[in-house]
Amino acid sequence: MVKEKNITVALDGTGGDRNRQGGIVKAVEFALTLYPALKLVVFGSMELKEKLEHGRFDRRRITFHQASQCIPQDEKARNVLEGYQHSAMRLAVEAVKNGEADACVSAGGTGPLVALSRHILGTIGSMRPALCARLPAGGFKRYALMLDMGANATSSAQDLHDFALLGTAAAKVLLNNEEPRTAILNIGTEQGKGNALVQETRHLIEKDQNLLSEGFLEANRLFCGDADIIVTDGFTGNVALKAAEGVASIFAHGPFFKRLLAKMSWPEWLIPWQYNGSLLLGVNGVVVKSHANAPEQALAVAMVEAAKAVSSGLYDSLRNDPILENKAR
Amino acid sequence: MVKEKNITVALDGTGGDRNRQGGIVKAVEFALTLYPALKLVVFGSMELKEKLEHGRFDRRRITFHQASQCIPQDEKARNVLEGYQHSAMRLAVEAVKNGEADACVSAGGTGPLVALSRHILGTIGSMRPALCARLPAGGFKRYALMLDMGANATSSAQDLHDFALLGTAAAKVLLNNEEPRTAILNIGTEQGKGNALVQETRHLIEKDQNLLSEGFLEANRLFCGDADIIVTDGFTGNVALKAAEGVASIFAHGPFFKRLLAKMSWPEWLIPWQYNGSLLLGVNGVVVKSHANAPEQALAVAMVEAAKAVSSGLYDSLRNDPILENKAR
């Protein structure tokens, strides 16, 4: 039996809800159980360190570095880059840069994480990085990649075209799909529908021979497997996924009996926490953004997603992709 | 006992799925039962007329006009206005203009319906009309108004500000709320979050003394009652609601037992078809857009919504609203 090579993931132990350090310990326990070849480098407060010392896992699989400075979710990019030199998020990204870790995971603010990742790791060519979510697509082991989920508040049609190229390159390793079909999120499927952004994006995607266009996709078909890659600007992508989460969470807040029924009626392939962890595609390294308010299982899933992305050779595959290479300046 | 004044609603009997004329008959039956003071003027094909003759309702409550021409969902505005003189949708809107009906309902394309309504009825002042949905907001008889749901593919901050004014005026009669709070849909609640459109809109709303600003709202809180009015551009609004619908519809397509459990676990206040029918606010008349693929109950609900809007005096209230009057040129 070939033993899988160890994969080291750096974890920002301060991101997300800071009061939930007990949750982080549980997430660490869960992640180490789910992925036997996983090692972690955790950056966080002394309080977290103490809590981790009571965790039920092999101590040798964890390295701890004290870094209690936490970047506020909505801190401006400029402040993030100039201050917070000792923040857990910054140090976790730097661990990827200097080779201490193969990937990093943070549940902190999207803006700070994207700014630090671009600044410290650099981007692949002239690409704008995009957050890529793996959506369940109508059944077990069927997924679609959706990007951008909010790395950029504003995007041009050229950006969306880049996202399609990034998604197509990523689908080869993440979905084992050599010929993924790309759809553009829109308010209708007919040719003339939507705003100038989606119209121009469709034009760019259809004339690019490296891409297979699936035309437009409406948001009510996000989880139906109509396309392998769904491109959208970060504002719309973020709103669409949060709206979907919002409906799902209504079931989690009803009376006990209804909650139980809801749990039983939920399709197994659509358990929300199974899909936590968006990959920041387009930077020189594997960076995973975990949902800020995700339960501990979800944070564990984000760490496992990061490890799987490393194991799949995602980054090398993107860096050496002939299509993306042509884009690089 | 005071008998309620009859309200006449014109129905486009060709919009939506054309093969479902049996569904239209059921919807008519259901609507006439739900709203005893309702009368209908139906525009449609001879086939629909024959089907209606077998419907179980008082014949005196229905007038039928033959109009079998159907405008395709994605027909361009110019073609809609220049052609289709005898289309059911056009005649239904004209019935409002010439006083034969108090309101009209169509499940046809949003683009054509908005174009015809603006052209035939005209707009209130210089407002851009917006589609306004009534969202369930966390319990029985608690609602929020969300606009625009897709009347405009592109909007400026001035448009979104107008939508806030329209919503505030409409909330007085539709929600019986004299001091409604307005939130802007965004990808975060912090001040600096989002794109230039939402930033500028927030600035305009906060400095307008006629509006109560509730800041930003994230899409996962759409159904939580955090605000009375939620403003967004038509592209984002449409995507958000369709994404929510998409999740809801997953439950309707599982195996029988899971479907049953889902039905039982669904909160009573969130049955989707109870909320069909978006009001086109800002035109001189009451126009309701029904969901194109809605079941027959939903089309009935759209007709009832139209009648209720008329009964509430919505249009007169908007036309005479001092705030909107100041906007009028």
The span from the CA of A82 to the CA of B49, in Å, is 72
d(CA B224, CA B217) in angstroms, rounded, equals 10
Q: How far apart are CA A296 and CA A55, in angstroms?
A: 14
Could you read off the pLDDT tens digit of each residue along chain B, which spans 329 residues? 456 789 999 999 987 654 567 789 999 999 999 999 999 999 999 999 999 998 889 999 999 999 988 898 888 889 999 999 999 999 999 999 999 999 999 999 999 999 999 999 999 988 899 999 988 886 666 889 999 999 998 999 999 999 999 999 999 999 999 999 999 999 999 888 899 999 999 999 999 999 999 999 999 898 888 999 999 999 999 999 888 887 777 666 666 666 665 666 655 555 555 567 899 999 999 999 998 776 778 889 899 999 999 999 999 999 888 888 777 54
Per this entry, what is the length of chain A? 329
C-alpha gyration radius of chain B: 19
Flag if A195 and B154 touch (Cβ within 8 Å).
yes
CA–CA distance, A70 with A13 (Å, rounded to integer): 9
The pLDDT of residue B329 is 45
Distance CA A104, CA A43 (A): 11
Burial label for A317, CB within 10 Å (0-12, 13-18, 19+), is: middle
Phi, psi of A212 (to 5 degrees): -105, 115
pLDDT at B38: 96
The residue among A315, A297, A294 whose CA lies nearest residue A306 is: A315
Region A276-285 average pLDDT: 91
B65: contact with A, CB 8 A cutoff: no
* DSSP code of residue A247: H
B74: closest CA of chain A, how far (Å): 6
Which chain B positions have a beta carbon within 8 Å of A238's beta carbon? Answer: 187, 219
* C-alpha to C-alpha distance for B166 and B319, rounded to whole angstroms: 10
Each residue's pLDDT tens digit, A230-255: 999 999 999 998 888 877 776 666 66
**B118 vs A267: which has the higher pLDDT:** B118
pLDDT at A329: 45
Q: B101, B107, B109: which is closest to B27 by C-alpha?
A: B107
State which residue of chain B sits closest to A184, comparing Cα positions: B239
CA distance B261 to chain A (A): 5
Q: Which two tokens stand for residue A144?
A: 């679609």
How many other C-beta atoms are found inside a 10 Å radius of the C-beta of residue A273? 16
* A162: enclosing H helix or E strand: helix A157-174
User: How many interface pairs between A and B have CB atoms less than 8 angstroms apart?
Assistant: 149
Partner-chain residue, chosen from B73, B234, B246, that has the shortest CB–CB distance to A223: B246
Tell me how far CA of residue B329 lies from CA of B127, B207, B258, in angstroms: 9, 21, 56
In this structure, of A88-97, A114-123, B255-264, the range with the lowest mean pLDDT score is B255-264
Q: Please report residues of B whose CB lies closer than 8 A to that of A267.
A: 250-251, 254, 258
With CA atoms as reference, the chain B residue closest to A238 would be B187
SS3 A85: coil
* Bridge partners (DSSP) listed for residue B44: B66
Confidence class of residue A170 from pLDDT cuts 50, 70 and 90? very high
What is the value of pTM for the model shown? Answer: 0.88
Return residues 182-201 of B near A (CB < 8 Å): 185, 187-188, 190-196
When pLDDT is averaged across residues A183-199 and rounded to a whole number, the result is 93
Rounded to a whole number of angstroms, the distance from the CA of B29 to the nearest CA of chain A is 29
- Burial string for A57-72 (b: 16+ CB within 10 Å, else e) reads beeebbbbbbbbbbbe
The type of residue at B254 is G
Indicate the average pLDDT of chain A: 88
